Amino acid sequence: MIFKFWRGGGTEPLERVQERVREMVRHDRHEFDLAMSALLGDVAPAEVNREVRSTDQQVNRLEREIRRELVVHSSVFGGIDSPSVLVYMSVVKDIERVGDYAKNLLDLALDGANFAGLPDEAEWRRTSGQVSQFITAAGEVFNSADAAVGRELRTRGDALLHLFDDRVSALVRGQDDAPQAVGRALAYRYLKRVVAHLMNLISAVTMPVDKLDYFDEDPEDRIPE
């Protein structure tokens, strides 16, 4: 990973950017947890709708602030290396997209999907917890720049991607005839996108800048390392 940010002038701009990234990730997890609580029947979707959407607006504002900070300090002060600007510009979009998919999950609940009482409710609750923890873990890996932990987290992420694909395939093939097939298939796809965007965030730690942003592809479709 190329994170030689500063040619001089201290680290204050970097610290501000990193704190905003951490804040975006915290908001993402909050959005996701609220959306899944509605989808799992723990809260009424309408009760959390405003909070989810206002939180997502905060994520969007932070993304813009980060981009402005990077542009100002790279073009005016010359304090950030160009590859690092590319890294941050790329990953903040992935972080922002996690919130968008949280809204998609909430929209399913607003449309009447409710996974409480389904035969696979326990698996949904377990998976929801795993993805929620993955959001925080991906943010922590990015901030620590720990490549070894990042590679381990990539393995966990790929396992989740395979799980979501398998569940959708079972629904399409008629091997899963439990209720709310459409809602469940869409939820699996949204969860897959959440994890895939987090995989791109992790790739900023484990890959050089020219290979950044390809880990939202299915493993078999990725360019070989």
- Yes or no: say if 113 and 183 are a contact pair by the CB < 8 Å rule: yes
What's the CA gap between 92 and 64, in Å, rounded?
Answer: 9
Q: What is the mean pLDDT of the segment spanning 60-64? A: 96
What was the pLDDT predicted at 224? 53
Amino acid identity of residue 162, one-letter, is H
Among candidate residues 98, 100, 121, the one with its CA nearest the CA of residue 180: 121
Provide the pLDDT confidence category of residue 75 given band limits of 50, 70 and 90: low
Listed residue (26, 25, 30, 146) closest to 95, CA to CA: 25
Q: Which residue would you say has higher pLDDT here, 107 or 74?
A: 107
Provide the percentage of residues in the chain whose pLDDT is more than 90.
67
- Gyration radius from the chain CA atoms: 18
Domains and CATH numbers, the chain: 12-215 (1.20.58.220)
Please provide residue 5's backbone torsions phi and psi, each rounded to the nearest 5 degrees.
-75, -40
Which parts of the chain fold into alpha helices (H)? 12-39, 45-75, 82-110, 121-144, 147-172, 181-206
